[in-house]
C-alpha cells in the first residue's frame, strides 16, 4: 500500500503525546509542529488513526500546496485538481478555511473562492453542481493558508475526533474528550489500569474523565461508536479495508472487556450531571464497568480494597460554585482527601489558576502545560507517598504571611480597607473580576492598584525629580508590604510595573516573556489578560462603560473596530448581536489574542474578519472599497505613534480631523461612530468638523471605580448631521 503524507491536528500542548501515539499506530517520519503532527503512512495508517487516536482532532490528507497571493490565484490552483476523482456531482461538500499572516485575510472569503472553483468545474463538465452542506457533508475539504502558502486537504475525519459518539447533544462538557485522554495518559492511567488499579474522579460532571479511562482500560477504540467519518463519502475510500480495521477493533474490545478491571468511579454534587454521566456510559456500553454517584467532596472516600490507583480531577474555576472565595477551601479539601484517602496512589489535577493549585497543600512532582480551549492550564501530578505531607490552609498554605506594618504602610492599608468596602460588593454585583481599587488616593503613595480576580496589577507612577529617590522606594516597599495582607494574596501574585509617559515604539514593548494568560469576567463577557509581559494587561478597564455601550448598540450591525488591541470591543459587539465584525490592528500578537478572546466567548474567529494592518493606511486604502460598509465603528487611536510599521508619525491632536473624516466615509447612513482617546488636554476641533453631530460622552463613560480621576479618557458619539 503506497505511502502518503498526512497531517493530524491537535490542541496545543498535546503534540508530544500525539507524536508518540502516531508512532505506536504505525506512522513513519513523524514530525511535531505547532497544534499538530506531520507523518507519512498508508491509507490504512490514516484509517487506523481515525479509529484509534485518543488525542487527535482531525486527520488531513494534503492534495496540493501552492502560493495563494490573492483569491484569483487561489481559484485557479483549486481548479487544477480533478475533483470528480474525490466526490460525485450528486454529493455534498463543505470547506473549512484558516488563514494566518497572509494576503488573503478573510477565511470566509477564502472558503467561498474554493467553493466557487469546485462548483464551476463540475458545472462546466456536467452541467450540474454539487450541493454545500455544513453539517456532515459527504466530503469535507480543508484549506490552510500560512504566509501566502496554501495547503488544500481532504479532511478524512470529517468531524473532530474528540466527538466519540457517546455524548448526548446539548450536554456541556468542561473538557473535550481528547484533552481528558491526555490528562489520563500524563497521569499514568494506562499503566495503572493494566496493573488493576482504580480510578476516581470526585468532580466528574457528565463523566468525561471516567468514560475515557474506561475506554483506555478496556482497549476500546474511541472511534468505534462514530457513524460518520469524512472518508466515508470519498470516492477513493476503501470500504473493505475500513471494515477489516473495525472488526479488529471489535475483537480487541471484546478481549479487553473480559479482563478484570479495577473500579472506575465518578462522583459529583450535581444530580443532573450524574444522570447524564450514566446515560453517556450506557451509550458507550460501559455502564457495567463505571459507577457514578451523587456525592460531595467532603463525603469522598476511595474504593475499598484499592491499594493503587489514580485520582483525576478538573475542579471548578469559579462558575460551578459561583463564589470564587470558596474555591481555595475546596482545593484544600481536595488535598486533604488525597492525603488521607488515597495514600499510595497518584493524582492528576488540572487548573487554570496556579494559586488554587497551591491551595491543594501538596507538592506536585510534575507540572505539564495543557490548553482547555484558549485557556492555558497546568496539569499538576502528585505522588501520594509518605513524603508528600498535606498542609491545610490554616497552616498557611496559599496565604500571605502576616508581618508588622510600618506607620506609612498602615496608613496605606487603611485606605485600601476603605476602598475594598466601597468597591468589592459593587464589582461582585456587576459581575466584574477586574476593577481599580486604588489610584494615588494618597499623594504620598502614587500607585494604581487594579484587581484581576485573585491577582493584583500594581503600577507605580514615576515620581517627580523633586521627590527623593530613596523616599519613593521606601513608600513603594510599604505598598508592597500592605497589599498581600489586605488582599490576602501571595506576593508572587502582585505584578509591579512602572508607568511613565511612553512614546513611539516603547509604548508596547515587552516587560517580560512569560506569556501566561488569565481568564477574567466583565459582566457577560470573558477575556484573557496578561499581567506580566506588557505595561498594559490586554484589557483597558477604564473603557468598560464604552464597551457596554457598544454592546447595547451592536444588535444587527456591521461593526468595525479600529486600533483594536486585543479585540475586547469586538467581543462586546458580538455578544450584543453584531451581524458582522471587522477588527483591525497593526500587531499580529494582539490579533491572535483577539482571536482567543472571541473563541473564549463562544464565537468562531474564522467567522469574523481580523486584519493586520496600519489602521491609518488601511483607512486610506478602503475609502472606496468599503464606503458606507459599517453601521457601528469604534475608533480608539493612540495619543502618539511612530511605529516602524507606519509611514511618518501620528499625533491625535494634530491628525484627528482627517482621521475622523476618513472613518466617517466608511460609516453607513444612520450609523454611529464612537471615538475615544487618552490625551488629557485634547481639544476636539468642533468648528472644522461642523458637518458632524458630535456628542461628548466623557462623563457617561467614566466607570464608578475611576470617578476619582475623570480625565482618564475622552469619548464622543458621532453621527452625520
**Per the domain annotation, does 169 fall within a domain?**
no
| Domain CATH for 479 | 3.30.750.80
Domain's final residue, options 370, 395, 420: 395
Which grid coordinates belong to 654? 494634530
Neighbouring residues of 704: CB distance < 8 A, sequence distance ≥ 6: 423, 426
Based on the domain organization, do 486 and 358 belong to the same domain?
no
Note the pTM of the prediction, 2 decimals: 0.60
**Per the domain annotation, does 87 fall within a domain?**
yes
User: Helix or strand or coil: residue 156?
Assistant: coil
Give the helix/strand (H/E) hosting 634: strand 630-635
Domain's final residue, options 438, 472, 500: 500
What does the pLDDT read at residue 259?
87
Average pLDDT over residues 612-638: 95
**Per the domain annotation, does 678 fall within a domain?**
yes
What does the pLDDT read at residue 507?
41
Q: Tell me the average pLDDT of the chain.
A: 91
What does the pLDDT read at residue 562?
97
* Owning domain of residue 205: 177-225+258-395
Whether pLDDT at 247 is above 50:
yes
Residue 410: which pLDDT band, with cuts at 50, 70 and 90? very high
d(CA 448, CA 337): 40
Residues facing 90 on adjacent strands: none
Query: Do 336 and 366 touch, CB atoms closer than 8 A?
Result: no
Based on the domain organization, do 416 and 385 belong to the same domain?
no
Based on the domain organization, do 191 and 305 belong to the same domain?
yes
Neighbouring residues of 658: CB distance < 8 A, sequence distance ≥ 6: none
Other Cβ atoms within 10 Å of 436 Cβ, number: 23
Whether pLDDT at 88 is above 80:
yes
What is Dmax (Cα atoms) for the chain? 88
Based on the domain organization, do 361 and 493 belong to the same domain?
no
d(CA 85, CA 80): 12
Which grid coordinates belong to 542? 477604564
Based on the domain organization, do 524 and 555 belong to the same domain?
yes
Domains contained in the chain, number: 4
Give the helix/strand (H/E) hosting 2: none
Cα angle 542-544-545, degrees, rounded to a multiple of 5: 110
Residue 196: which pLDDT band, with cuts at 50, 70 and 90? very high
Based on the domain organization, do 181 and 281 belong to the same domain?
yes
Q: Where does residue 196 fall: left (phi above 0), alpha (psi -120 to 50 degrees), or beta otherwise? A: left
Backbone phi and psi for residue 145, each to the nearest 5 degrees, phi listed first? -115, 115
**Per the domain annotation, does 164 fall within a domain?**
no
Which grid coordinates belong to 150? 496554501
Whether pLDDT at 320 is above 90:
no
What does the pLDDT read at residue 324?
53
Based on the domain organization, do 429 and 532 belong to the same domain?
no
Domain's final residue, options 353, 370, 395: 395
What does the pLDDT read at residue 509?
42
Average pLDDT over residues 595-616: 95
Q: Where are the beta strands (DSSP E) in 160-301?
A: 198-201, 264-268, 290-294
Based on the domain organization, do 391 and 413 belong to the same domain?
no
d(CA 324, CA 537): 21
**Per the domain annotation, does 596 fall within a domain?**
yes
**Per the domain annotation, does 248 fall within a domain?**
no
For residue 196, give the nearest of 290, 94, 79, 307 by alpha carbon. 307
The more confident residue out of 74 and 134 is 74
For residue 572, give the nearest of 592, 595, 546 by alpha carbon. 546
Angle (deg, nearest 10), helices 208-217 and 271-283:
30
Determine the number of helices (DSSP H) and then strands (DSSP E) in the chain.
Answer: 18, 30
User: Helix or strand or coil: residue 701?
Assistant: coil
User: Helix or strand or coil: residue 376?
Assistant: strand
Whether pLDDT at 397 is above 50:
no
pLDDT tens digits, one per residue of 675-702: 999 998 999 999 999 999 999 998 899 9
Which grid coordinates belong to 11? 490542541
Whether pLDDT at 321 is above 80:
no
Which grid coordinates belong to 222? 474511541
What does the pLDDT read at residue 506?
39
Cα angle 561-572-160, degrees, rounded to a multiple of 5: 95
Residue 432: which pLDDT band, with cuts at 50, 70 and 90? very high
Q: Where are the beta strands (DSSP E) in 557-602?
A: 558-562, 580-585
Based on the domain organization, do 330 and 468 belong to the same domain?
no
What does the pLDDT read at residue 643?
56
Cα angle 468-474-476, degrees, rounded to a multiple of 5: 105
**Per the domain annotation, does 253 fall within a domain?**
no
Whether pLDDT at 121 is above 50:
yes
Other Cβ atoms within 10 Å of 287 Cβ, number: 16
For residue 54, give the nearest of 193, 167, 176 by alpha carbon. 176
| Domain CATH for 345 | 3.40.50.150
What does the pLDDT read at residue 464?
67
Based on the domain organization, do 433 and 545 belong to the same domain?
no
Based on the domain organization, do 68 and 146 belong to the same domain?
yes
Whether pLDDT at 452 is above 60:
yes
pLDDT tens digits, one per residue of 30-53: 999 988 999 999 999 999 999 999
Cα angle 325-330-333, degrees, rounded to a multiple of 5: 140
Based on the domain organization, do 341 and 487 belong to the same domain?
no
User: Helix or strand or coil: residue 400?
Assistant: coil
**Per the domain annotation, does 104 fall within a domain?**
yes
Amino acid at each position: 500500500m503506497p505511502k502518503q503524507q498526512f497531517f493530524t491536528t491537535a490542541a496545543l500542548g498535546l503534540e508530544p503525546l500525539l507524536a508518540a501515539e502516531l508512532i505506536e499506530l504505525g506512522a513513519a517520519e513523524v514530525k511535531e509542529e505547532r497544534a499538530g503532527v506531520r507523518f507519512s503512512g498508508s491509507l490504512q495508517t490514516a484509517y487506523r488513526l481515525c479509529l484509534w487516536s485518543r488525542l487527535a482532532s482531525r486527520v488531513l490528507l494534503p492534495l496540493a500546496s501552492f502560493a495563494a497571493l490573492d483569491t484569483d490565484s487561489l481559484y485557479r490552483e483549486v481548479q487544477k485538481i480533478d475533483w470528480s476523482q474525490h466526490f460525485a456531482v450528486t454529493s455534498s461538500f463543505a470547506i473549512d478555511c484558516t488563514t494566518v499572516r497572509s494576503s488573503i485575510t478573510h477565511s470566509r472569503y477564502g472558503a467561498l473562492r474554493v467553493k466557487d472553483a469546485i462548483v464551476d468545474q463540475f458545472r462546466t463538465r456536467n452541467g450540474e453542481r454539487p450541493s454545500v452542506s455544513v453539517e456532515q457533508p459527504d466530503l469535507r475539504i480543508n484549506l490552510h493558508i500560512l504566509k501566502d502558502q496554501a495547503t488544500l486537504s481532504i479532511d478524512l475525519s470529517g468531524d473532530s475526533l474528540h466527538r466519540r459518539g457517546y455524548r448526548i447533544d446539548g450536554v456541556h462538557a468542561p473538557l473535550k474528550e481528547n484533552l481528558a485522554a491526555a490528562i489520563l495518559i500524563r497521569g499514568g492511567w494506562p499503566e495503572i489500569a493494566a496493573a488493576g488499579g482504580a480510578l476516581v474522579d470526585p468532580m466528574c460532571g457528565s463523566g468525561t474523565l471516567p468514560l475515557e479511562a474506561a475506554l483506555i482500560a478496556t482497549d476500546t477504540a474511541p472511534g468505534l461508536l462514530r457513524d460518520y467519518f469524512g472518508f466515508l463519502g470519498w470516492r477513493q475510500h476503501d470500504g473493505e479495508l475500513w471494515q477489516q480495521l473495525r472488526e479488529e477493533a471489535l475483537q480487541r474490545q471484546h478481549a479487553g472487556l473480559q479482563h478484570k478491571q479495577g473500579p472506575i468511579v465518578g462522583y459529583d454534587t450535581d444530580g443532573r450531571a450524574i444522570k447524564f454521566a450514566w446515560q453517556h456510559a450506557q451509550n458507550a456500553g460501559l455502564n457495567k464497568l463505571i459507577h457514578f454517584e451523587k456525592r460531595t467532596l467532603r463525603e469522598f472516600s476511595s474504593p475499598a480494597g484499592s491499594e493503587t490507583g489514580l485520582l483525576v480531577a478538573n475542579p471548578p474555576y469559579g462558575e460551578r460554585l459561583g463564589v470564587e472565595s470558596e474555591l481555595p477551601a475546596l482545593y484544600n479539601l481536595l488535598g486533604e482527601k488525597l492525603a488521607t484517602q488515597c495514600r499510595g496512589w497518584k493524582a492528576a489535577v488540572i487548573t487554570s489558576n496556579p494559586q488554587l493549585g497551591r491551595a491543594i497543600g501538596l507538592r506536585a512532582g510534575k507540572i505539564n502545560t495543557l490548553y482547555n480551549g484558549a485557556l492555558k492550564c497546568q496539569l499538576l501530578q502528585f505522588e501520594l507517598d509518605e513524603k508528600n505531607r498535606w498542609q491545610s490552609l490554616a497552616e498557611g498554605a496559599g496565604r500571605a504571611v502576616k508581618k508588622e506594618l510600618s506607620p506609612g504602610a498602615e496608613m496605606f492599608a487603611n485606605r485600601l480597607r476603605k476602598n475594598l468596602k466601597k468597591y468589592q460588593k459593587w464589582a461582585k454585583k456587576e459581575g466584574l473580576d477586574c476593577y481599580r481599587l486604588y489610584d494615588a488616593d494618597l499623594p504620598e503613595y502614587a500607585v494604581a492598584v487594579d484587581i484581576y480576580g485573585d491577582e493584583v496589577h500594581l503600577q507605580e507612577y514615576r515620581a517627580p525629580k523633586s521627590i527623593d529617590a530613596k523616599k519613593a522606594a521606601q513608600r513603594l516597599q510599604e505598598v508592597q508590604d500592605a497589599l498581600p495582607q489586605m488582599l490576602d494574596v501571595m506576593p508572587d501574585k502582585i505584578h509591579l510595573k512602572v508607568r511613565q509617559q511612553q512614546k513611539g515604539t516603547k509604548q508596547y514593548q515587552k516587560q517580560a516573556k512569560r506569556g501566561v494568560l488569565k481568564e477574567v469576567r466583565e459582566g457577560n463577557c470573558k477575556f484573557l489578560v496578561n499581567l506580566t509581559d506588557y505595561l498594559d494587561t490586554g484589557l483597558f478597564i477604564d473603557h468598560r462603560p464604552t464597551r457596554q455601550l457598544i454592546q447595547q448598540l451592536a444588535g444587527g450591525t456591521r461593526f468595525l473596530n479600529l486600533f483594536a488591541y486585543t479585540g475586547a470591543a469586538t467581543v462586546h459587539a458580538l455578544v450584543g448581536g453584531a451581524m458582522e465584525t471587522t477588527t483591525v490592528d497593526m500587531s499580529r500578537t494582539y490579533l491572535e489574542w483577539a482571536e482567543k478572546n472571541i473563541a473564549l466567548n463562544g464565537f468562531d474567529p474564522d467567522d469574523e474578519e481580523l486584519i493586520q494592518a496600519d489602521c491609518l493606511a488601511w483607512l486610506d486604502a478602503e475609502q472606496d472599497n468599503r464606503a458606507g460598509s459599517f453601521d457601528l465603528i469604534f475608533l480608539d487611536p493612540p495619543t502618539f505613534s511612530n511605529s516602524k510599521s507606519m509611514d511618518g508619525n501620528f499625533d491625535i491632536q494634530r491628525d484627528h480631523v482627517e482621521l475622523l473624516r476618513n472613518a466617517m466615509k466608511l460609516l453607513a447612513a444612520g450609523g454611529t461612530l464612537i471615538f475615544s482617546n487618552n490625551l488629557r488636554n485634547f481639544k476636539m476641533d468642533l468648528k472644522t468638523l461642523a458637518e458632524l453631530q458630535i456628542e461628548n460622552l466623557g462623563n457617561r463613560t467614566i466607570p464608578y471605580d475611576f470617578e476619582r480621576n475623570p480625565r482618564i479618557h475622552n469619548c464622543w458619539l458621532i453621527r452625520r448631521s
